[in-house]
Amino acid sequence: MAIVYDKLMALRLPDAEVAYAARDVMLYALGVGLGQDPMDEDQLSFVYEKELKVLPTYASMIGYPGFWLRDLPTGVDWVKVLNGEYEVRLAGPLPAAATVVSRMRILDVIDKGADKGALIYTERTTHEKASGRLIATTLQTVFCRGDGGFGGPQRPARPVHPIPERAPDLVCDLGTRPETALIYRLSGDYNPLHAEPAIARAAGYPRPILHGLATFGISGHAVLKACCGYDPSRMAAIAGRFSAPVFPGETIRTEMWRDGAVVSFRARVVERDVIAINNGRVEIRE
């Protein structure tokens, strides 16, 4: 089965109503590596229920619709799907517990050609159920490596945020653990690519890779630490483009450039000297 453009654009994605609690917030933080140093009280505040803080990138998992590219009639070869780009825009600090309603829609589908794959652009808005208050908006580009050439529109991809040409102003190294992907997936992204060796090999990888949004969360942690003093209320938005996979156990070096209220960043895998996230952009509330 291949992508049918009109059918995919008309696909109705069901709303997700989800209640999350402190345990879910802490599990997510553990999944992106916080708490590895038990004496670091800044990190402890995200993984311990006393005066609990919520990582801004947790918005990517609140009301997550599940693996809809596999579970719904999309025509997509889900084994070859990767995150392309991701953006989170925050209305304010995330509550430590809430019931939320998440609504997702497909904005566009671009056919890059038979040998180049396809891009699916989506938007997800998440509101607190009781008040109707907007919590976050997430924009995602899905890279479907095996689905180009279906006869859809071939518009250019959207422009990306440029990285400054000077040396980074700040650098932060954060390590991952061999079981990081297995912990992270418990927050709701159960794609077997990140757990099952046979699926990883079928997708062209020697072993399971880390979720792109886990790498995104780790870089978000680095910016929160280096530029926001671990104050989640100061991060208004974060976006980045996924450019290479990370294997659990590798070290992620986040390089940052500070220009007023904007922090540009990229994430480098130290062990292989490859860029895992590029063209990153964070908006800081002063």
Catalytic residue among 189, 218, 220, 277: 189
Catalytic residue among 148, 212, 240, 280: 212
C-alpha to C-alpha distance for 129 and 15, rounded to whole angstroms = 12
Amino acid symbol at 199: I
C-alpha to C-alpha distance for 106 and 92, rounded to whole angstroms = 25
Instruction: Verify whether residue 194 is a known catalytic residue.
Output: yes
Instruction: Verify whether residue 209 is a known catalytic residue.
Output: yes
Token duo for residue 278: 């590029």
Q: Which residues contact 188 (CB under 8 A, 6 or more apart)?
A: 61, 64, 66
Instruction: Verify whether residue 120 is a known catalytic residue.
Output: no
Catalytic residue among 111, 148, 194, 218: 194
Which position has the token pair 């886990």? 214
C-alpha to C-alpha distance for 142 and 130, rounded to whole angstroms = 31
Pairing of strands 118-128, 262-269: unpaired
Closest by CA position to 230, among listed 179, 172, 177, 146: 172
C-alpha to C-alpha distance for 34 and 52, rounded to whole angstroms = 13
Instruction: Verify whether residue 221 is a known catalytic residue.
Output: no
C-alpha to C-alpha distance for 215 and 115, rounded to whole angstroms = 27
Catalytic residue among 62, 135, 209, 277: 209
Backbone angles phi, psi at 194, to 5 degrees: -100, 5
The residues assigned a catalytic role are 189, 194, 209, 212
